[in-house]
């Protein structure tokens, strides 16, 4: 009888541990999913203007269409850039599907795919035309964002 009780208690303890482990695993998976989604932000005609006008924030945006072989050849490059840039203050990585957002792409003068543009305080400040690797894209975004921030600071100092 004591053996049965001991076996039952051991089984219940194991179930509690497994349940806690499963719960922790679930929270971990949710946190990874939420973090991944936040790294590259999909912009639409409804969100684009408000997002790129955020004060003191640079937006490095990829404009693509799903049928473009050059866009497909990028593979995970843009997501990889988003992950790399996650810790950078005041630089956001965005993407626009020009197949869905044709009017937006026309408005920002997109004529070929993929096109990469950097915006600061709502204004286009640079178009990227260099190598397509994470380190080159990151360097470009950091340098151009810094130049744009300095220019904006000089402009606001003149207003004072």
Hey, which residues are catalytic here?
68, 71
Tokens 């070929």: give the residue: 112
* Sequence-separated (6 or more) residues with CB below 8 Å from residue 156: none
d(CA 39, CA 27): 19
Residue 89 near residue 135 (C-beta atoms within 8 A): no
Residue 78 near residue 62 (C-beta atoms within 8 A): yes
Longest dimension (CA), the chain: 88
Peptide bond into 112 cis (omega under 30): no
d(CA 37, CA 82): 10
């Amino acid at each position: 009888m004591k053996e049965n009780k001991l076996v039952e208690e051991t089984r219940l303890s194991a179930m509690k541990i497994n349940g806690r482990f499963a719960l922790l695993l679930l929270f971990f998976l949710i946190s990874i999913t939420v973090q991944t989604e936040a790294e590259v932000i999909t912009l639409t005609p409804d969100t684009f203007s408000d997002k790129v006008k955020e004060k003191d924030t640079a937006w490095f945006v990829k404009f693509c269409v799903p049928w473009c072989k050059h866009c497909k050849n990028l593979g995970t490059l843009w997501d990889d850039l988003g992950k790399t840039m996650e810790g950078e203050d005041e630089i956001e990585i965005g993407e626009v599907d020009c197949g869905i957002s044709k009017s937006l792409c026309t408005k920002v003068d997109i004529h070929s795919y993929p096109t990469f543009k950097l915006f600061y305080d709502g204004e286009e400040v640079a178009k990227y035309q260099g190598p397509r690797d994470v380190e080159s894209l990151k360097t470009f975004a950091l340098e151009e964002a810094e130049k744009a921030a300095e220019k904006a600071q000089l402009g606001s100092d003149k207003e004072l």
